[in-house]
Chain A
Amino acid sequence: MKRATRLGRNAGAALLAYAFALGRAAAADDHAAHSLPPAPPPRFEAPAAGSYQLPAIDRVGQHQLLGTSGAAEPLIALKDGELALISFVYLQCGEACPLSTAMLHRLDGELAKDPALARRVELVTVSFDPQRDTPQQMRALREKLAPKGRWRFLTAANESALRPVLADFGQDAVWIPGEANAPDALRHVLKVFVVDANGAVRQIYSTGFLDTRLVLADLRTLLTPAT
């Protein structure tokens, strides 16, 4: 039974591995010498905030998930004039998820330098894998990351509770059976969504644009009233 294989690694080990991968992703991004070949630095300057448009791409609804205490929490918890960056991850992911979490971690640090902006932005990390990524595991991840600003960590009660969330966001996720005794892997396209208080999706990042300079330019573009 493949599901048993998926659950093969215990949760504590998964978190440790995720934290390790997170460190690798951060190091690779910082171009430090490391076992992973470093990604080359982007060769562009971010466009000036407010110099371009970010029309609504889509609209998502409200969903109830579980916070790190195990209590129900809304996925979108924003006031008018605020934005959320929503990222889907799972703790057994070895590469893509740590990359997006590392970007959010850097963004959390950058936002801390601009308190007025930070007050209007919330980071939200949602697990793809409710069976293994329990509220306790998500809390442990939060403690590991020690956010400076608004950053919530959510999971779902079960897969059937998660499925409509993924469908609403158009976030694909397919479990690929592992060969032999290898655990199954979740194949998904890495996406980070910028959503406003009305559920309008204003930006979607993938690996090519997980760049804090672009994200900050987009947040400022969206939060600065047009003159």
Chain B
Amino acid sequence: MASVQRALLLIALALGVAHSASADETCQSPYLPKLVGQEDFIYVWTLGVEGLGDGSDKLVTVGANPARSDYGEVVHSLSVPGRNEAHHAGFTDDRRYLWAGGLDTSVIFVFDVASDPAKPKLVRTIKDFPAKTGWVGPHTFYPIPGRMLITGLSNASDKSGHTGYAEYNNDGTLVRTVPMPPGAEYGYDLRINAHLNRMLSSSFTGHANYMRKLPELMGDAEAMKKFGNTMVVWDFHARRPLQTLAVPGAPLEIRWALEPEHEYAFTSTALTSLLWGVFRKSDGSFEAVEIGTIGDPKTLPLPVDISLSRDDKTLFVDTFNDGTVRVFDVSNPRAAKQIYEHKIGSQVNMVSQSWDGKRLYFTSSLLANWDGTGHPDEQFLKAFTWDGAKLTPTFAIDFTAEKLGRPHHMHFGQLGFWGIPTGADDVAAK
């Protein structure tokens, strides 16, 4: 209990607000102030679908506070030019701006989510990510003080998975690029443990693969060899790679444990359907260890997003192909034990949870050319409560019926964070 209090204190210090219980929030950068309490909005970065609505990618704001009249409804939708393969997004370190990327065009859109939290505004478009960095496919947007780290999935020369990451300042100016090290050239996610001054990165595949139709890709044996099999441990402060870990099968999302004394992280491998733990050893180096199996790997469930509870005991694991979330008890981090599963829909990709772990949100889209492969192409955001034993549905939005598109990454917004009363339905009028 004392360690939980300590973690809360550290978060409170980062917030500049004392003694507050804070609110996917559990899987954010340690440099990002966490939301306190109930989220009012979910910002959903959404891929456009040709012939559906305006066909463009868009940032959709959904009401998430049961105390407000817009609960469970689309509050606002802001379209950006074209279809860019909208994928992931991330707040700046002050939560004032949301950077969102397109994996195909490599265009980055920056939205102001502070001036009117219900109605984000597009304030900057970065079109020269490939020209400036050499990478393409901006994936993870990860805030550090005054800057944004952005991983590339691929490179501008041959569109393979050889890549690196870029560091921009909050005004959108490139500060530096860092290539992935020899022998571990593929990239995907990166996450920092400030307490250890260590960063972990993972590896996926290049533009030449992720933009192909899934059945065609899976039928191409040579192309299927071109996936990442490594994670890299970095000295974050020096931006120096220290160690390459063998993690076969495309390790994707990384989640560091939150308790300071828990010196480990989790990931899942997309192609082998395994859970992995990455543990700090007594000599300060790290080891990667298989800690569990996700579904039946022979059926290729395709693990995608994962979300860890704030007490490091419960890990939610989405598998795309069967539309199912599996919940693992990871209180023994070397032996993950499945305790629950629930079919969310025909397909599911992202999962986000509130800081208290009581509310979870799921979206359906993975990649435009992979969605609906071998199963119906449902597109939704679905909200649930979690009582520690089961999920109970609260609301759902059909993104096809609403002519919005394919919903992907979710981030939370809150009026109170900006000093605006929660009941303020029309923020602009205030």
Binding site for B on A (CB under 8 A): 36-40, 42-44, 46-47, 51-53, 55-58, 93-97, 99, 170, 172, 174-177, 185-191, 193, 201, 204-209, 214
The smallest beta-carbon distance between B184 and chain A, in angstroms, is: 19
The smallest beta-carbon distance between B157 and chain A, in angstroms, is: 24
Inter-chain contact A208/B175, CB cutoff 8 Å:
no
Inter-chain contact A43/B15, CB cutoff 8 Å:
no
Please list 28 pairs of residues, one from A and one from B, whose beta carbons are closer than 8 Å in the complex, sorted by A's number. A40-B261, A42-B195, A43-B196, A44-B197, A44-B198, A46-B237, A47-B237, A47-B240, A57-B147, A58-B169, A95-B13, A96-B13, A170-B94, A174-B419, A175-B419, A176-B419, A186-B16, A188-B16, A189-B14, A189-B33, A191-B146, A204-B145, A204-B146, A206-B14, A207-B13, A208-B194, A209-B145, A209-B237
Contact A204 to B147, CB < 8 A, known contacts A36-B9, A40-B195: yes
B residues 222-279 in Cβ contact with A at 8 Å? 235, 237-240, 260-261, 263
Q: Which of B5, B18, B237 has the most CB of A within 10 A?
A: B237
Across the interface, B195 reaches (CB within 8 A) one of A43, A53, A93, A214, namely A43
| B396 on the A face (CB < 8 A) | no
Contacts of B263 in A (CB 8 A): 43
Top 5 nearest A-B pairs (CB, nearest first) are: A208-B194, A52-B238, A44-B197, A172-B94, A204-B145
Inter-chain contact A99/B195, CB cutoff 8 Å:
no
What CA separation (Å) do A38 and B260 show in the bound complex?
Answer: 11
Contacts of B52 in A (CB 8 A): none
CB nearest to A90 among chain B residues: B16
| B31 on the A face (CB < 8 A) | yes
When each residue 191-223 of chain B gets 1 if its CB lies under 8 Å from chain A and 0 otherwise, what string results? 010111110000000000000000000000000
Contacts of A207 in B (CB 8 A): 10, 13-14, 30-31, 194
Contacts of A188 in B (CB 8 A): 16
| B96 on the A face (CB < 8 A) | yes
CB nearest to B31 among chain A residues: A206
Inter-chain contact B146/A37, CB cutoff 8 Å:
no
Contacts of B15 in A (CB 8 A): 96, 187
Contact A201 to B146, CB < 8 A, known contacts A176-B419, A177-B419, A208-B30: yes
Inter-chain contact B6/A39, CB cutoff 8 Å:
yes
Contacts of B93 in A (CB 8 A): 189, 206
Inter-chain contact B146/A170, CB cutoff 8 Å:
yes
What CA separation (Å) do A93 and B196 show in the bound complex?
Answer: 28
Interface residues in B, total, Cβ within 8 A: 47
What CA separation (Å) do A207 and B13 show in the bound complex?
Answer: 7
Contacts of A186 in B (CB 8 A): 16
What CA separation (Å) do A20 and B16 show in the bound complex?
Answer: 17
When each residue 390-408 of chain B gets 1 if its CB lies under 8 Å from chain A and 0 otherwise, what string results? 0000000000000000000
Inter-chain contact B237/A39, CB cutoff 8 Å:
no
What CA separation (Å) do A93 and B12 show in the bound complex?
Answer: 12
The smallest beta-carbon distance between B178 and chain A, in angstroms, is: 10
What CA separation (Å) do A95 and B43 show in the bound complex?
Answer: 30
Inter-chain contact A53/B13, CB cutoff 8 Å:
no
Across the interface, A44 reaches (CB within 8 A) one of B145, B146, B196, namely B196
What CA separation (Å) do A141 and B230 show in the bound complex?
Answer: 51
What CA separation (Å) do A97 and B14 show in the bound complex?
Answer: 10
CB nearest to A100 among chain B residues: B13
Binding site for A on B (CB under 8 A): 2, 5-6, 9-10, 12-18, 30-31, 33, 93-94, 96, 144-147, 169-171, 173, 175-176, 192, 194-198, 235, 237-240, 260-261, 263, 280, 416-419
The smallest beta-carbon distance between B116 and chain A, in angstroms, is: 14
What CA separation (Å) do A190 and B16 show in the bound complex?
Answer: 7
The smallest beta-carbon distance between A25 and chain B, in angstroms, is: 9
Inter-chain contact A58/B10, CB cutoff 8 Å:
no
Inter-chain contact B147/A40, CB cutoff 8 Å:
no
Contacts of A94 in B (CB 8 A): 18
Inter-chain contact B96/A37, CB cutoff 8 Å:
no
Inter-chain contact B419/A58, CB cutoff 8 Å:
no
Contacts of B16 in A (CB 8 A): 93, 95-97, 185-190
What CA separation (Å) do A214 and B236 show in the bound complex?
Answer: 12
Contacts of B192 in A (CB 8 A): 208
Inter-chain contact A55/B175, CB cutoff 8 Å:
yes
4 further contact pairs, Cβ within 8 A, besides A57-B169, A58-B173, A188-B16: A37-B5, A46-B237, A47-B235, A176-B416
The smallest beta-carbon distance between A99 and chain B, in angstroms, is: 6
What CA separation (Å) do A37 and B18 show in the bound complex?
Answer: 13
Contacts of A205 in B (CB 8 A): 145
What CA separation (Å) do A97 and B2 show in the bound complex?
Answer: 23
Contact A208 to B31, CB < 8 A, known contacts A57-B175, A95-B12: yes
What CA separation (Å) do A201 and B419 show in the bound complex?
Answer: 29
CB nearest to A47 among chain B residues: B238
CB nearest to B30 among chain A residues: A208
Inter-chain contact B13/A52, CB cutoff 8 Å:
no
Contacts of A174 in B (CB 8 A): 418-419
Inter-chain contact B176/A58, CB cutoff 8 Å:
no
Q: Which of A36, A55, A174 has the most CB of B within 10 A?
A: A174
Inter-chain contact B195/A191, CB cutoff 8 Å:
no
Contacts of A42 in B (CB 8 A): 195-197
The smallest beta-carbon distance between B329 and chain A, in angstroms, is: 25
Inter-chain contact B9/A37, CB cutoff 8 Å:
yes
What CA separation (Å) do A188 and B96 show in the bound complex?
Answer: 11
Inter-chain contact A52/B240, CB cutoff 8 Å:
yes
Contacts of A185 in B (CB 8 A): 16-17
What CA separation (Å) do A201 and B175 show in the bound complex?
Answer: 11
Contacts of B260 in A (CB 8 A): 39-40
What CA separation (Å) do A95 and B8 show in the bound complex?
Answer: 13
Contacts of A58 in B (CB 8 A): 146, 169, 171, 173
Contacts of A187 in B (CB 8 A): 15-17, 33, 417, 419
Contacts of A190 in B (CB 8 A): 13-14, 16
Inter-chain contact A189/B94, CB cutoff 8 Å:
yes
